[in-house]
Amino acid sequence: MKRQLSKNGIWLGKMELPDLVQLVNKKSTSASLQSAGILGGPYLTKLKGRGMEFAEARPYQPGDDVRHIDWRVTARTGRTHTKLFREERERPVMLVLDQSLPMFFGSRHRLKSVQAAHIAALLGWRALLRGDRVGGVLFSEKMHREFRPRADRRHYLRLLSNIMTEHNLVVGRMNDSLWSFNTKCLFAEALRRVRHVVQPGSLVYIFSDFSGFDAECRKHLFQISKQNQVQAYLITDPLEKEPPTSGRFAMSNGKKTAWVNAGNAKTRQIYNNTFDQLLEEICSEFRHCRVDLTILSTEENILAV
């Protein structure tokens, strides 16, 4: 992607996400972002336990947990051996990024997909620089990508490169009118896969507008939160909350089109109430799933210093 397309709120430039490491490196910027409530402390709730990794096997001693007997070494040596473990020094962090079509909407400053990519990249850089392992799950109607958590900058740069590439492919298709909302967002399937790849004790970030959230998603999210800390970022746009003050506008769900008279006070009230109701339903669902929720609008400039 050409450099001049960078940071225009629609396309993601080649270095737009990698360059955010400079923002995280600035102590003053980090303090500013924390005070704004966008990037809180490193861990928002009490840890549910980090993973344990195998250290070595040694001869069994009285008092050792029989559940940790290393049967392979025992069979090979003829002597009972037990496994020793040590606590992992870094915490696995998983970035779950929704790149489905409803995310490619924005009325001011930037698309929801761009805002989600920015906050995901920032939180990923922050985790990597404090020594945690970072991985990710990207999903849309047409793709699913998984990156196992690693404390490796090059590995993380590959993840960011995939975010940029997949994002710009969708923008390109929309630019060429080669898109449709008649496809199903596989949000539930993505969360099911997260359950299989995430390690217990991980910090899981989810970035989406949650337009594809349903009962199946709720089931998987609840299971993920049992053994992990989950922080969700609900990306919204001002136009979703409040219509323009005047004029008639066509609205479509991909199948049906309706005209909205924004100058009608009753219509505007119904519009506002519908958004508030949907927001409250999502908040209620997440409270039930024990998930922390942050609401982030596309007009908020999280990159400002």
Q: Are 162 and 138 within one domain?
A: yes
Tens-place pLDDT, residues 26-47: 754 445 455 445 665 444 433 3
As for how many domains the chain has, the answer is: 2
CATH number of the domain residue 223 falls in = 3.40.50
**Cβ atoms 81, 58 nearer than 8 A:** yes
Tens-place pLDDT, residues 38-84: 665 444 433 344 455 677 888 988 878 888 899 999 999 999 999 88
Separation between Cα atoms, residue 119 and residue 296, nearest integer Å: 9
Domain that holds residue 246: 3-46+90-297
Handedness of CA 170, 173, 179, 183 (dihedral sign): negative
pLDDT of 238 above 70? yes
Q: Are 157 and 70 within one domain?
A: no
Amino acid, single-letter form, for residue 100: S
Domain for residue 15, yes or no?
yes
Domain for residue 258, yes or no?
yes
Q: Are 131 and 258 within one domain?
A: yes
Separation between Cα atoms, residue 174 and residue 212, nearest integer Å: 20
pLDDT of 149 above 60? yes
Q: Are 81 and 110 within one domain?
A: no
Tens-place pLDDT, residues 205-226: 999 999 989 999 999 999 999 9
Q: 222: how many CB neighbours lie within 10 A of its CB?
A: 16
**Tell me, what's the pLDDT at 28?**
42
Separation between Cα atoms, residue 157 and residue 296, nearest integer Å: 24
- How is residue 69 annotated by DSSP? B
Domain for residue 302, yes or no?
no
**Tell me, what's the pLDDT at 52?**
59
**Tell me, what's the pLDDT at 65?**
81
**Cβ atoms 152, 10 nearer than 8 A:** no
Domain for residue 304, yes or no?
no
Domain for residue 123, yes or no?
yes
Distances from the Cα of 172 to the Cα of 6, 12, 104, 175, angstroms:
15, 11, 11, 5
**Tell me, what's the pLDDT at 255?**
76
Separation between Cα atoms, residue 237 and residue 216, nearest integer Å: 25
State the burial class of residue 210 (Cβ atoms within 10 Å of its Cβ: 0-12, 13-18, 19+).
buried
**Tell me, what's the pLDDT at 177?**
83
Helix%, strand%, coil% for the chain, nearest 5:
40, 20, 35
pLDDT of 279 above 70? yes
Pairing outcome for strands 81-87 and 52-59: antiparallel
HSE (CB half, 13 Å, CA atoms) of 76? 7
Q: Are 264 and 287 within one domain?
A: yes
Q: Are 38 and 133 within one domain?
A: yes
Residue 2: band (very low, low, confident or very high) from pLDDT cuts 50, 70, 90: very low
Q: Are 59 and 144 within one domain?
A: no
Contacts with 213 (C-beta within 8 Å, 6 or more apart), sequence order: 187, 282, 285
